[in-house]
A and B are shown apart, each in its own frame.
Chain A
């Protein structure tokens, strides 16, 4: 009887109670539609050039058939020399890259060294394999470290690919066509940026899930250049977010002043103690 009060705290980490609830409720409400998680139907691409890595992404986040975010930031910071583009479920890519960034920061604080791209890839691979693809994160990791410039892709089940040029997301086939056509080893900076831009543009034009602006991130040994936005969509609406009017904008037609009659009812004087 009293055992009902002996409480065991639930284990930290993921809690699967709701899965049980959903299974129990399955037969009860027919035709009930579950809300869709916000996915980034996306085009992301990366290219290794002579001095480093160029990463590019579009900025549209969709939730079903509606555009949920027009200025979504898909290029996430991992460490000063490593950035990661994320496609798939938006929350999953955000959280996974955040955890990865925290782990690498702890490592670099402990050892005093800049993290390497392989370390980020290994951490991600372990984390994503543990959850057997339930975390929907397709990531492109690019960075420059002491061993050179690297570009990796990590799939949701933990698969890893190391290639000189890549694209992921729903617009990856369109972008990959442009990359296959234009890629040459040891490109210069400007042609590399132009290639990535053209690849993302192809993804935007030919895929419904990608759109709006193009973000570019250039990582070299000297530093990082995060250009957001690199190209703005020509259909961007000019909405003002502040609607404050300057004083004097409204013309005054008539003015009537009515003085309020006040009577002094009670007056008390309290002396202040100034010592």
Chain B
């Protein structure tokens, strides 16, 4: 059982914020508590890796390189302020996920999130002024 990064407490200074993130337990911080947690976190990444490597084997190196450049461009969303949600339409169209519905469109939609980052802090963080 290998400990995994990314489960450390999310509050300020790495201290667990009990009000917002719930109870702590040392086991939770080292290992995922649900068998699907890891595979779901990396699912999109792994799918992309698999698709790109297949594409490279079939069509040569240039095809995935060009696609990855387009993905990066679509992901940037330059015009939008950091605390506002983006629908990622360009990215969805590139990935062909605009024609299918899965659990990520129904559950926990970021557009319906009940909390929002503090706008001034988010902009300052993005500009590196913090």
Contacts and interface: CB of A to CB of B under 8 A. Distances in A.
Give the secondary structure class of B's interface: loop
Contacts of B43: 130
A16 B32 contact: yes
A10 B36 contact: no
Contacts of B40: 13-14, 16
Given A7-B83, A7-B122, A25-B23, A13 B103 contact: yes
A11 B105 CA distance: 11
A24 B22 contact: yes
B127 interface: no
B12 A3 contact: yes
Contact of B36 (A8, A14, A23, A24): A14
Nearest to A102: B101
Given A16-B32, A16-B33, A6 B121 contact: yes
Interface in B8-40: 11-12, 17, 21-25, 27-28, 32-37, 39-40
A23 B28 contact: yes
A6 B113 contact: no
Contacts of B106: 95, 99
Contacts of B121: 2, 5-6
Interface string B33-55: 11111011101000000000000
Interface string B86-119: 0000000000000111111111111001011110
A12 B107 contact: yes
Contacts of B115: 7
B117 A7 contact: yes
A134 interface: yes
Given A15-B108, A23-B25, A134 B85 contact: no
B25 A4 contact: no
A1 B12 contact: yes
Interface string A145-175: 0000000000000000000000000000000
A25 B102 CA distance: 31
Nearest to A110: B99
B12 A19 contact: no
Given A14-B40, A23-B25, A24-B28, A99 B101 contact: yes
Interface string B65-88: 000000000000000000101000
B122 A6 contact: yes
A69 to B, nearest CB: 23
B102 A7 contact: no
A9 B104 contact: no
B108 to A, nearest CB: 5
Interface in A97-112: 99, 102-103, 106-107, 110
Contacts of B34: 16, 19-20
Given A6-B125, A13-B107, A23 B102 contact: no
B17 to A, nearest CB: 8
Contact of A106 (B12, B32, B99, B130): B99
B33 A14 contact: no
A10 B110 contact: yes
A6 B11 CA distance: 10
A231 interface: no
Nearest to A7: B117
A11 B23 contact: no
B108 A131 contact: no
A127 interface: yes
Contacts of B41: 11
A19 B33 CA distance: 6
The 7 closest A-B pairs by CB, nearest first: A7-B117, A13-B104, A19-B34, A4-B12, A24-B25, A24-B23, A5-B121
Interface of A: 1-17, 19-25, 95, 99, 102-103, 106-107, 110, 127, 130-132, 134
